[in-house]
Structure 1
Amino acid sequence: MKCIIFDLDGTIGNTLPLCIAAFKKAIEPLAGKALSDKEIIDTFGPSEEGTVQALIPNYYEQGIEDYLRHYRQLHAMCASPFEGMREILDYAKDQNIQLAMVTGKGERSTEITLDMFDIHSYFEAIETGSPQGPRKVQGIQSVLNQLGIMPADSIYVGDAPSDIKASREAGVPIVSAAWAETAEVELLQEMQPNKLFKTIQEFRQYIQQTIQKSD
């Protein structure tokens, strides 16, 4: 293992509830109606700009700015990464493992969270999402090219079924992060990722054992 590529929402931190809360505060006043969590989640895939475009296309610019404002203001809902995640990042860095991030979030909200968590410096390459649609396959390929890493020498760590599909398409082993309250554990298991962990502690043990074997 030479490189670990992380997703952000639901993997590094429990930020999905924050995203949904910010979308509701930004979009509901402009849409003139209440939105269910499912209505919002069903638009995920593209970055936040894609969600705004899908739900309130006539208020696109205002919707994006309102979302980012609420996202920052509400970030105290998720003030730090999952407990134990920073220690994993530290351990990997100490072992000269390169760290990257490929997220479906937009660039601006990604920067807000990385700044709030104070973890930006851990990642040597970061690829964010697109309003046009999912681009994790391209993002994974891009960070591997930037870092000079072969797909088989890396892993992708993500919490969504779509992460499993994207990783397989990119030729990268997939570790399913099922430690967030929002993880769909049974669905992830059905898709048979290379590894699935329900706790950060299990994931840390796996990282330590894998790195030690390669020494």
Structure 2
Amino acid sequence: MKALLFDFDGTLLDTNELIIQTFMHVLEERFPGQYSPKDCMKFIGPSLKETFEQITPNEVTEMIEKYRQWNAAHHDELVKEFDGVLPTLEKLKELGIKMAIVSTKRSDTIEKGLDLMGAKHFFEFWIGIDHVPHVKPHPEPVLLAIEKLGVDKEHVIMIGDNYHDIEAGKNAGVKTAGVAWALKGEEFLRQFNPDYMLNNMSDLLTVVKEL
């Protein structure tokens, strides 16, 4: 059985604007004039805990809560689907490919995005930060997904828009794919040597034949 593991933000759903605006809101309040939207790009990918431990080590819990409140309130108005995602997921499902999500966000927030997309039925489950002690690039969430799917590693691809996704897949011993629509760019991802680079979501239909 073949399986695909997807990151969520920036891979299946374009949440980049939402994330940047959320960080700008909470950081501007705490550090007026010190951060720009470009500065906030580097916070896309790591967990909120990891990010705020670097920025405000003594206020991590408070900053995460402020982030989540503003993010939830503006979620639906600031996210959008990437081209080709839903039609490709539909075809992969028809081919019998098992699919799951492995993300560094909470599972309830993943579910909110899936509901907005109308895509929940494509996935066996989703693993969020609340399901594992260690998040990507640690292999634990990827290995948990493989175990739950009951598939062999050689038939699995971890797909994502950030180095955390590529490194987590490599650390877990599975193939990896980067997405060229990543906010940080295709060349950034190529530094981490993914096995595949997807220019469009539909490229997966060719890639799965090689698994």
- The equivalent of 1:200 in structure 2 is 201
Q: TM-score scaled to structure 2, two decimals?
A: 0.83
- The equivalent of 1:70 in structure 2 is 70
- The equivalent of 1:52 in structure 2 is 52
Q: Which structure 2 residues correspond to residues 1-215 of structure 1 after superposition, within 5 A?
A: 2-37=2-37, 39-43=39-43, 46-75=46-75, 76-79=77-80, 81-129=81-129, 134-180=136-182, 182-201=183-202, 203-207=203-207, 210-211=208-209
Change (3 A) 1:179 1:195: same
Shift of 1:143: 0.5
d(CA) in 2 for partners of 1:52 and 1:132? Answer: 16
Which residue type is aligned with residue 200 of structure 2? Answer: T
RMSD: 2.7
d(CA) in 1 for partners of 2:134 and 2:100? Answer: 22
d(CA) in 1 for partners of 2:134 and 2:56? Answer: 15
Q: Deviations over 1:136-165 (max 9, x none)?
A: 511110000111111111111111233222
- Is 2:107–2:126's contact at 8 Å kept on the other side of the alignment? no
d(CA) in 2 for partners of 1:166 and 1:132? Answer: 11
Change (3 A) 1:66 1:135: same
> Which secondary structure does the structure 2 equivalent of 1:74 belong to?
helix
Identity %: 26
Structure 2: state its 5+ residue gaps: none
Count of residue correspondences? 208
Q: TM-score scaled to structure 1, two decimals?
A: 0.81
Which residue type is aligned with residue 121 of structure 1? Answer: H
Shift of 1:6: 0.5
d(CA) in 2 for partners of 1:41 and 1:133? Answer: 19
Change (3 A) 1:35 1:106: farther
d(CA) in 2 for partners of 1:64 and 1:191? Answer: 29
